[in-house]
Amino acid sequence: MLLFQKRFHAGIVDGAVRLTFRLWDKPHVKAAGRYRVHPIGVVEVDGVEQVTLASLTEADAQAGGFASRDELLSYLAPVAKAPLTAKTRVFRVAFHHGGDGDRVPLALEAALTPADVADIELRLARLDAKGPWTRRVLQLIGKHPRVAASQLAAKLGLAETEPFKIDVRKLKKLGLTQSFEVGYELSPRGERFLALSRGRAKR
């Protein structure tokens, strides 16, 4: 996983942000590697180069999502182990958004209208036709993010994990959950749906 502040996410997805600068002791990524950036998918690293701060340009800063070189330096200063100088070494990482075949783009669409909420409720009702389970699973994932599927299945009293995984995949197709190497999380859409749906129920 490669961590970015939320303010960089939109730029990463649309390609405006294509550089990042890290004060690592050694490289944590490698060229051609793919790294997850929650919740926007993955990035593919195009190159890793250690350079001095003096070599960074205004264009570099803007490609990193900053308005200016000074803003980039202000961003780096709090995480530096020593005062920044022109000779401070920094890793300049070039990358591009690589999508994510495991993520449903709908998962990030959290601006739900009453009609959207009603549509999701209808779809969940269809999945619940043979017995209610959808909200119980959503609430379980919300309460226990990134917990192994086997542990979540056990909390529901299920002896086997695979049927639970199949159910979660159905919720992911609706954009309500997201999968990780270990466990799941509610997507922004899923969190918003539960909040709005509970509100409708109370009224």
Rounded to the nearest 10 degrees, the angle between the axes of helix 134-143 and helix 114-127 is: 110
Last residue of a domain, one of 58, 84, 99: 99
> Is 1 part of a structural domain of the chain?
no
The count of structural domains within the chain is 2
> Is 168 part of a structural domain of the chain?
yes
Looking at the structure, tell me whether residues 114 and 88 fall in a common domain. Answer: no
Looking at the structure, tell me whether residues 82 and 111 fall in a common domain. Answer: no
> Is 68 part of a structural domain of the chain?
yes
Full-prediction pTM beyond 0.85? Answer: no
CA-to-CA separations, 172 to 45, 56, 104, in angstroms, rounded? 27, 41, 7
Looking at the structure, tell me whether residues 147 and 74 fall in a common domain. Answer: no
Each residue's pLDDT tens digit, 125-152: 999 998 999 999 999 999 999 899 999 9
Task: Encode the chain (203 residues) as per-residue pLDDT tens digits.
Answer: 789 999 999 999 889 999 999 999 999 999 988 888 877 888 889 999 999 999 999 999 999 999 999 999 999 999 999 999 999 999 999 999 887 645 667 787 889 999 999 999 999 999 999 899 999 999 999 999 989 999 999 999 998 999 999 999 999 989 999 887 678 899 899 999 999 987 554 43
Query: Does 39 sit behind a cis peptide bond, omega within 30 degrees of 0 on the bond before it?
Result: yes
Looking at the structure, tell me whether residues 167 and 185 fall in a common domain. Answer: yes
- The pLDDT of residue 42: 85
Looking at the structure, tell me whether residues 121 and 82 fall in a common domain. Answer: no
CA-to-CA separations, 124 to 91, 98, 117, 184, in angstroms, rounded? 47, 31, 11, 18
Looking at the structure, tell me whether residues 55 and 80 fall in a common domain. Answer: yes
H, E, C per residue of the chain: CCCCCHHHHHHHHHCCCCEEEECCCCCCCCCCCEEEECCCEEEEEEEEEEEEHHHCCHHHHHHCCCCCHHHHHHHHHHHCCCCCCCCCEEEEEEEEEEECCCCCHHHHCCCCCHHHHHHHHHHHHHHCCCCCCHHHHHHHHHHCCCCCHHHHHHHCCCCCCHHHHHHHHHHHHCCCEEECCCCEEECHHHHHHHHHHHHHHHC
Residue type, 108: L
Last residue of a domain, one of 50, 75, 99: 99
> Is 74 part of a structural domain of the chain?
yes
Looking at the structure, tell me whether residues 113 and 197 fall in a common domain. Answer: yes
Q: Are 136 and 171 in contact (CB under 8 A)?
A: no
Looking at the structure, tell me whether residues 140 and 178 fall in a common domain. Answer: yes
Looking at the structure, tell me whether residues 37 and 110 fall in a common domain. Answer: no
Determine the structural domain holding residue 50 and report its residue range.
Answer: 6-99
Looking at the structure, tell me whether residues 109 and 183 fall in a common domain. Answer: yes
- The pLDDT of residue 202: 40
